[in-house]
Amino acid sequence: MNISGNTILITGGGAGIGRALAEVLHARGNQIIITGRREDVLKDVAAANPGMAWAALDVADPAAVAAFGEQVVRDHPTLNAVILNAGIMKPEDLKAQPFDFATVEATIATNLLGPIRLTAALLPHLQAQPAATIMTVTSGLAFIPLAATPTYNATKAAIHSWTESLRHQLRDTAVEVLELAPPAVATDLMPGHAENPNSMPLADYTAEVIGLIERGNTPRGEILVERVKPLRFAEANGYEAVFEMLNG
């Protein structure tokens, strides 16, 4: 992926990692379109970054995603990259009675079905570009679970697997498929993350990610900062120890 000169759509671009990437890539000379559920937040981010575009979108709404896919390519015909960042992370008690499926269903709709549906909506346009990029955002927890957030982990593991299949199926096209797998980062994705001393500072994370992309340091199409590698490679390098570190 070239670090500048693109038209990039970033879902969940109003806060956290999405906003940080949007602002850094905007400063690097890319046209950025951010989406999210909350118009007021999107407007504030765009106002703070003159020239950045925004559009409200709930990626959990299938009809909204389909309509948005058609509209965004009309509004931004040079669109050649999408970062599928929107996601939710909530704790669940699997022993609770009665069990509340609302969190399960919302997490799957946002984290798993959302990226799949938006990719399907945009892929014909992206394939028509001279060069294009689809970047999924998974997690270190795709590879080893935080037991308190079971459905979140499962959706990220599923998107990791789905990304590998997408990359293989698009291998003979001009569409590059990347996977960004963050560690715990100091954002408001889940209460306490921003204040947790074990979370990686957002500015440090963003700078390391941009550096990896700029240098083309994306083996297997994965963008892995050093802090996430113990999770990513736990299966090969000591799964039980890492699981214990995460879950106690």
Q: Which residues carry out catalysis?
A: 152
20 and 206 in contact (C-beta within 8 Å)? Answer: yes
Query: Measured between alpha carbons, how far is 200 from 154 in angstroms, rounded to an integer?
Result: 22
CA 222 to chain centre: 12
Burial class (CB in 10 A: 0-12, 13-18, 19+), 41: middle
104 and 151 in contact (C-beta within 8 Å)? Answer: yes
107 and 56 in contact (C-beta within 8 Å)? Answer: no
Amino acid at 244: E
